[in-house]
Amino acid sequence: MNSDVVMLTQELIRIDTSNYGDSTDTVGEVAAADYCAERLREAGWDPEVIITSSDSRRAVVLRIPGTDPAANALLIHGHLDVVPVVQSEWTKPAFGGVIEDGFIWGRGAVDMKDMDAMILAVVRDWGRTGYRPRRDVVIAFLPDEEAGSVHGSHWLAEHRPEIFEGVTQAIGEVGGFSLTIHDDLRLYPIQTAEKGMKWMRLRASARAGHGSMIHHDNAVTELAAAVTRIGKYQWPIRKTPTVQRFLDELSMAYGVDVSNVEPEELHQRLGTLAHLVGATMQNTSNPTVLTAGYKTNVIPSVAEAQIDCRFLPGYEDELEATIRALAGESIEVEVMNYGQAVEAPLDTELFGLMAKALRAEDDKAHAVPYMISGGTDAKAFAGLDIECYGFSPLQMPAGLDYWRLFHGVDERVPIAGLEFGVRVLDRFLRDC
């Protein structure tokens, strides 16, 4: 599997699956889906290639029957799309899949074509050797995660729910990577929760006029004041069970209490590791887009802003009420895009099996639950009452900042860490 996973990662990276939203430039997902289907067929499987919302968006699904028909099924999902790149900022070809300095370089190396390749490598090995897991395993390679999953996981959950019949648990991205604390301790955060998402549009309407005149009823001014209030608002600290457990585990690992400090102090005590915690202790609301006017000497009648809002599990109502209060009665507020918050149980047999598989390959491994501030395809599957975890095992070299590789320049994955990951994934799935 080791050589297979390296080859698969390189070849997947070389397929440019940049997601430009609904633009006609988003075309590579089709080639990537066909690639995954063909690699599965080579190993004797018969996957289904599904055209989702249009001919340019495709998913690949395979159900592997388990030996115990009474057991609940497990879903393993990975997305095939990536965020676009500015090639001039990179030192290596962004879609070259180049091997250098012990790494595979390219867009998607950690988000998340490495996991796609690990899934393919394990399932291909099973097909060639005739191995069958205890429980049904549903494999899903998906489009459109990087633009909200409308054409991918959400489409499948709505239009093809029978694919997930009997599935009670799932694993996907953003978990199972290593954080070296000491020579004898590596933490492996496993995602058990993620914040919800509400992208909101603010609209101010007023009387248009000439820019040279005194004009107190100005849509731009009203909108700017509302955006400023929202952008500067200090959200209260909230600690969900997942975040509290993660803070407790960090305190024990570092020998320093970080469970009762403000987010600003976390950076002083934890450095870049604080990025895993800060935004998961509160709701957030960041203004990102402003639109108004068409000519300098014309006061526009409408001004609009877009706000990226994220809410903790259990605090969605607080977020919406606060945004509407801060915007004020004169500002129209609407939800543009929505994704529910996700929080899976912490102390489950599945979590224990992930921890066991990690320890079997790394005797210094200690698995801990954590929350991410962003979103994944788990939002769609949680809506089907599936317990979702982020488990894409990967051992990272000490000092390499895993999070800065996500959507970053010179994204890369260590080959040794990738080979470690495929062994862990295979071991975990065999134990399930």
Q: Which two tokens stand for residue 309?
A: 């809002």
Q: Which pLDDT score is estimated for 404? A: 83
Strands 137-142, 73-79: pairing is parallel
Distances (CA, A) of 381 to 158, 160, 167, 339: 10, 12, 10, 11
Q: Which pLDDT score is estimated for 251? A: 87
In the chain the first and final C-alpha atoms are separated, in Å, by: 19
Q: Which pLDDT score is estimated for 215? A: 82
pLDDT along the chain (432 residues), means of 10: 92 97 90 98 98 94 97 98 96 98 97 98 98 98 94 97 98 94 92 96 94 89 97 94 91 80 66 74 96 95 97 96 97 94 94 98 96 94 97 94 88 97 98 94
Please report, for the chain, the start and end positions of each structural domain, with discontinuous segments joined by +: 2-192+341-431, 195-339
The C-alpha atoms of residue 231 and residue 290 are separated, in whole angstroms, by 13
Beta bridge partners of 191: 370, 390
Distances (CA, A) of 32 to 335, 371, 388: 32, 29, 24
The angle that helices 263-270 and 241-254 make with each other, rounded to 10 degrees, is 30
Would 2-192+341-431 and 195-339 be classified into the same CATH topology? Answer: no
- pTM value > 0.85: yes
Beta strands in 195-322 (DSSP E): 196-205, 209-210, 284-292, 298-299, 302-311
Single-letter residue type at 146: E
Per CATH, which fold does 195-339 belong to?
Alpha-Beta Plaits (3.30.70)
Judge whether 113 and 387 are in contact, CB under 8 Å.
no
Residues in the chain: 432
* 3-state SS assignment for residue 18: strand
Q: Which pLDDT score is estimated for 157? A: 97
Query: Which candidate, 161, 149, 132, 150, places its Cα nearest to that of 67?
Result: 132
Architecture of the CATH domain 2-192+341-431: 3-Layer(aba) Sandwich (3.40)
Beta bridge partners of 370: 191
CA 398 to chain centre: 23
Question: What is the number of other CB atoms lying within 10 angstroms of the CB of residue 430?
Answer: 14
